Amino acid sequence: MDITNSYSEEVRKAIEADFLLLDNDHKNAFLAAHNFDSSMPDFTNATLAQLWSMEIFMLKSLSQDQLSRRMWIIREKFRLQAGDAVFGVYLANLPEAITDKALKQGVSSGYC
């Protein structure tokens, strides 16, 4: 399995798990937006572009608290896609409010 297929499979698994966590209104909106007619869609044949579109939809469905708690997952997906060099530059240039340290403090204090 080449790296693109491997990565696509990881994204597919994450989207399947994320879909299960959506509330009914967001599930229905997701199904309509991505032309699925089943209450449990089959993501097997989705392209990487389609998977990213689905991921963006799901991220927009999250509350601020949920999004803050998932920041590390999102960052890891970005690192896998962009590579370590680009990811290192990204981390070095983060605003203070969204560094790992700030996010960890926010989660532990209960504000996010």
**Claim to verify: residue 43 and residue 76 sit in the same structural domain:** no
**Claim to verify: residue 55 and residue 100 sit in the same structural domain:** no
Domain residue limits at 45: 3-61
**Claim to verify: residue 27 and residue 55 sit in the same structural domain:** yes
Task: Give this prediction's pTM.
Answer: 0.60
Summarize pLDDT for 34-73 with one digit per residue, the tens: 988 888 888 888 888 898 889 888 888 877 777 777 777 7
**Claim to verify: residue 47 and residue 75 sit in the same structural domain:** no
**Claim to verify: residue 76 and residue 95 sit in the same structural domain:** yes
Domain count, the chain: 2
Using CA atoms, how far residue 76 sits from 7, 26, 40, 41, in Å, is 12, 24, 26, 25
**Claim to verify: residue 8 and residue 44 sit in the same structural domain:** yes
**Claim to verify: residue 16 and residue 40 sit in the same structural domain:** yes
Max Cα distance, the chain (Å): 44
Summarize pLDDT for 80-106 with one digit per residue, the tens: 888 899 988 988 888 887 777 877 777
**Claim to verify: residue 14 and residue 31 sit in the same structural domain:** yes
